[in-house]
Structure 1
Amino acid sequence: MKSGFVASLLLVAAMLAGCSGIKTPTASLASHDARHDIPAIDQMIVDMKQDYIQACYLPVAKREPPVNACQTELFQMLERRYHMNYTQNHVDMASNDLFFKDVNTKINDLVRKDRQVGAAARRAFGSTDEMMAYYREAYKFETN
């Protein structure tokens, strides 16, 4: 009985110690050269990233039980890749995959619907893949 209680306390202490070092990622505008400066795309990505950090990233990084589809998808990806031994660096990598899947769709929609944004994107990038890679690098999750 006593050893079970001690084991439970150690488990709780380990979980608390693991969660205490969580760094909140930033969602701020990236700096670009004049050619790649498309404010509508940048603002959309920053807004989406702020929402993602609060709704998905932080709860999973803190190892809280998933309560929405976004958290569940992120948690399942981490569990498949790293089992329950994931770190915040792993959460960054998985978030880059999941977050930018949605960002790519939104950027494509914005480029198609807004003529000015579409024209600026065509001037700045040689292809859609180049544009997506550029924004993925500029706005990636990186807490280290």
Structure 2
Amino acid sequence: MTKEELYELMEDGNLGYACVFKRENQGTHTDYMFKMTAENIANFIGKNAYIADKIIMTDMCDRLICESVFGGFLMNCPDQDLCREIIPHLAPIQMGEAEPKDIAVATREEMEELWAAEEEAVMQAEFRML
């Protein structure tokens, strides 16, 4: 993703993590970041339904948003209101009536590189003021 796309992704503060576990990775996972809306969650689960053994989604403070397993099944969603919002988007994908939409997704590494560059720019500005 471009720097501008990464900034756009962070705009409303609804960013969260999706940890995607695949059997062939022997317990390691890949982290992705995107806006945690009901529609985005459903589309992410749908895109990874038959790739991931398990997906755990959390907010930026690592509080559980939801969890899904192979096949795109929503297994754990503590916020039942959110769960009721996800289902209407996820069910058509699960039934084969709709294709999952592309959503803006960044890897954790892309976001960390952006944050590190921002931190470096702030430190350089502080040193110039000394």
Asked if TM exceeds 0.5, the reply is: no
TM-score tier, shorter chain, comes to under 0.3
Which of the pair is proportionally richer in strand? Answer: 2
Which of the pair is proportionally richer in helix? Answer: 1
Larger Rg: 1
TM-score by length of 1: 0.26
Structure of higher RCO (CA pairs closer than 8 Å, 6+ residues apart): 1
